[in-house]
Amino acid sequence: MPLELTVVDAFTDRPFGGNPAAVALVDRFPHDERMQHIAAEMQLAETAFVVPKGKDRYALRWFTPRVEVALCGHATLAATHVLGHGARFDTKSGELATTIAQDGLIEMDFPADRAQRAEAPAWLPDARWFGKGRFDALALLPDAAAVRTFAPDFAAIEALGCRGLIVTAPGERDGFDCVSRFFAPATGILEDPATGSAHCTLAPFWAERLGRASLTGEQASRRGAVIHMRLAGERVVLGGRAVTVSHVTLLV
């Protein structure tokens, strides 16, 4: 039967920036195979399926074109934007709460994912620090220019055995504490334009080094993205904006 989806650009205040996600509000989750087929058809970093469970409470699942993922920031932001109000989402990563401020900023309460130092692979000889968190590997590069010009070896990244690789450095532009890029070939996403969940690792990493809990990150993808972060113990509050860009009707 037909399915309505809303496509939202997340972690941006302008169309065609940030990271697009498709959001489907459904009475119940379709079969897993169908959700995966829909995500493959949409060909976006994530397609989110949202099921109401009570007042301002929902179940939420995320799919890339290839796999279901356990945590996704930009599609959670997009889902909140589509709902038009803050919500509590039951997910594979536990309960995630979101709020919308009067100025439109959406904040999301996510689990922190602290990377533990590990030996850097030989193909990252310039890494100043390397570690792994629950989901991703993290490499500190010498400077922002090294992040912006980083040429990924996708086969080597996939061989790390993680969801993906974050490369980061101190920010060199006014208003940004850090700059990053994110690569996740194992999930079918070569370079993700804006990755909220990666900032669950970046927030504690940079908070420790810069000595403050509130930070702003630039994700230096081609589309560009701005992610606000606030470390709160073992949680990270991620903030961003979103723009609706299209409505899609699947006829089958």
CATH class of the domain defined by 3-111+239-250: alpha beta
Residues 68-105 as b/e (b if ≥16 CB within 10 A, e otherwise) read: bbebbbbbbbbbbbbbeeebbbebebeebbbebeeeee
Closest CA to 16 of 243, 168, 181, 214: 243
Residue-wise pLDDT tens digits, 193-236: 999 999 999 999 999 999 999 999 999 999 999 999 999 999 99
Whether 3-111+239-250 shares its CATH topology with 116-233 is answered yes
Residue-wise pLDDT tens digits, 114-156: 999 999 999 999 999 999 999 999 999 999 999 999 999 999 9
Residue-wise pLDDT tens digits, 46-94: 999 999 998 899 999 999 999 999 999 999 999 999 999 999 999 999 9
Active site residue 46: yes
Maximum separation of any 2 CA atoms in the chain, in Å? 53
Residue-wise pLDDT tens digits, 16-39: 999 999 999 999 999 999 999 999
Residue 58 has a CB neighbour count (10 Å cut-off) of: 20
CATH class of the domain defined by 116-233: alpha beta
Which residue out of 33, 46, 95, 208 is catalytically annotated? 46
- Residue 42, CA atoms < 13 Å, CB-side half-sphere: 33
The pLDDT of residue 1 is above 80: no
Tokens describing residue 180: 């990053």
Cα angle 144-148-154, degrees, rounded to a multiple of 5: 125
Percentage, residues of the chain above pLDDT 90: 97
How far apart are alpha carbons 226 and 135 in whole angstroms?
A: 21
Contact yes or no for 43/19 (Cβ under 8 A): no
β partners of residue 183: 165
* pTM exceeding the 0.85 threshold for the entire prediction: yes
User: For residue 78, which phi and psi values (nearest 5 degrees)?
Assistant: -65, -40
Structural domain spans, the chain: 3-111+239-250, 116-233
Per-residue model confidence (pLDDT) at position 155: 97
